[in-house]
Amino acid sequence: MIELEQAYESLAAWCRARDWAGHDPFDGLNSRLFQATPLKRSRVARLAWTQAFKRAPVSLRAAARVPVGRNAKGTALFALAALSRFRATGEGAPQREARELLNALLAARLEGGSGAAWGYNFDWQGRAFFAPRGTPTIVPTAFAARALVEAQRAFGDEKYLRAARGACDFILRDLKRSAEGADEICFSYTPLDETRVFNASLLAGEALASVGARTGEEELLTASVRAARYVVRRQRADGSWAYGAAGFQGWADNFHTAFILTSLARISEASGAGRAEFAESLRRGYGFWRENFFLADGWPKYYHDNPYPADAHSSGAAVVALCELKDSMPDALALADRIISWTLENLRDPRRGFFYYQRRRFYTIHTPYMRWTQAWMMYALARRLETMNAER
């Protein structure tokens, strides 16, 4: 317990000293050097440039003039960590920090859509589509909604719930429904695309469920269950989920599976009626994930068929999911503790307290990405400390 508290506090101090701003694996297109060239208009060049920055063993950002920045999803994760510490301790410092981060999150809302939405602070080029910086995007929006709903629960302040309800308007009115049946639905990643990314659509369902459970709106709860059904029905025979429905999205990875398990558990809890319907899918998904994405000592595998790379994002998302599943999966917290121990030993800077990006076969990438690693590990450590407090 003391070791985890020390790890949390040293990491929080490191992030706080930098005003929660930093670099990201996907921020290469913020390069002032790249933006000054005609390559910025080329899809192939954008994709290659982004991947080069993501995979390089050392950071190229200083040379390419990539500025640090605040990321809305990172802000939401930091707020969730502070809220978790407040619930565990009842102390004023975590409460104040949570409110400051929530205020920053509210100030980062994007204008012009049907409701409240958040985006990334960089241009993002994926294989399926291009999203310019500031495009409203479901993933940061869903994590913002999670933080805002938890803030309303913790503080009783209705402004947080109103903002989270605005995120539901964005989901229902602005996102495309790229696949929809009588009792299922798949939401797009942004208003610009028609991709079917399973964890992203399910995050939209989670936001609808968490808000609907607070407001009593049956429309939101029904839509959340339909989103869950779409993902559950695309589960593979072995219990795994692909990243998405397209042929080039057939891989399964650790943290996106953790997102699916977390959102499915939250939708089941919030919707009530969906709890029994999704229990078997959760059990099978958890079984595949537990058996295939971790080594015996807690090493978090990025892909199920290769131990490399191991990164702190996978560790953090896994621990959060395991804390969420602790009541339905008896071995969840024991696995969470093994993952934390391995990550503290192998991916933490012992002097400065931050976490490295990835351990690869022949080297470790020490770049301290703010959203990808620090925010997720703060959230994970806070959640595990909270569950430890509840166990006492």
What secondary structure does DSSP assign to 261-305, as a single string? HHHHHHHHHHHSTHHHHHHHHHHHHHHHHHHHSB-TT--B-SBTT
**Quick one: pLDDT band at residue 2, thresholds 50, 70, 90?**
low
Tell me what the mean pLDDT of segment 84-102 comes to.
96
- Residue 127 has a pLDDT of 84
Beta bridge partners of residue 128, listed in sequence order: none
Residue 166, pLDDT score: 97
Structure tokens at 201: 């659509």
Please compute Rg for the chain using Cα positions: 20
Structure tokens at 240: 């795994």
Give the confidence band of 182 by pLDDT, cuts at 50, 70, 90.
confident
> Does residue 1 carry a pLDDT above 60?
no
Q: Is the pLDDT reported for residue 126 higher than 90?
A: no
Considering the entire predicted model, what is its pTM?
0.97
Alpha-carbon distance of 54 to 294, in angstroms, equals 23
221 and 270 in contact (C-beta within 8 Å)? yes
DSSP string, 214-263: HH--HHHHHHHHHHHHHHHTT--TTS---SBSSGGG---BHHHHHHHHHH
Whether the pLDDT of residue 155 is over 60: the answer is yes
pLDDT of 326 reads 96
> Please, which residues bridge with residue 179 across strands?
186
Mean pLDDT of 215-243: 97
Task: Name all domains of the chain by residue range, CATH numbers in brackets.
Answer: 2-391 (1.50.10.10)
**Confidence class of residue 178 from pLDDT cuts 50, 70 and 90?**
confident
pLDDT of 141 over the 60 cut: yes
How many of the other CB atoms lie within 10 Å of CB of 173? 11
How wide is the angle at C-alpha 359 spanned by C-alphas 353 and 361, nearest 5°?
155
Our CA dihedral for 36, 39, 45, 46, rounded to 10 degrees, sits at 50
pLDDT band at 158 (very low <50, low <70, confident <90, very high): very high
Q: What is the mean pLDDT of the chain?
A: 95
Q: What average pLDDT does the segment 297-326 reach? A: 97
Percent of the chain with pLDDT over 70: 99
For residue 371, give every residue at least 6 positions away whose Cβ sits within 8 Å of its Cβ, in sequence order, or none: 22, 24, 71, 73, 74, 77
Give the percent of the chain with pLDDT over 90.
92
Confidence check: pLDDT of 112 > 90 = no
What band does 272 get if pLDDT is binned at 50, 70 and 90?
A: confident
Backbone φ and ψ of 22, nearest 5°:
-175, -160
Q: Which of 86-100, 173-187, 320-334, 363-377 is predicted with the least confidence, judged by mean pLDDT?
A: 173-187
Indicate the range of 5-14, 181-190, 289-298, 369-378 predicted with least confidence. Answer: 181-190
Confidence of residue 128 (pLDDT cuts 50, 70, 90): confident
Q: How confident is the model at residue 273 (pLDDT cuts 50, 70, 90)?
A: low
Cα separation of 238 and 179, whole Å?
Answer: 23
Which pLDDT value is given to residue 177?
A: 93
What pLDDT is attached to residue 390? 83
pLDDT band of residue 122 (cuts 50, 70, 90) is very high
Write out pLDDT tens, residues 57-74. 999 999 999 999 999 999
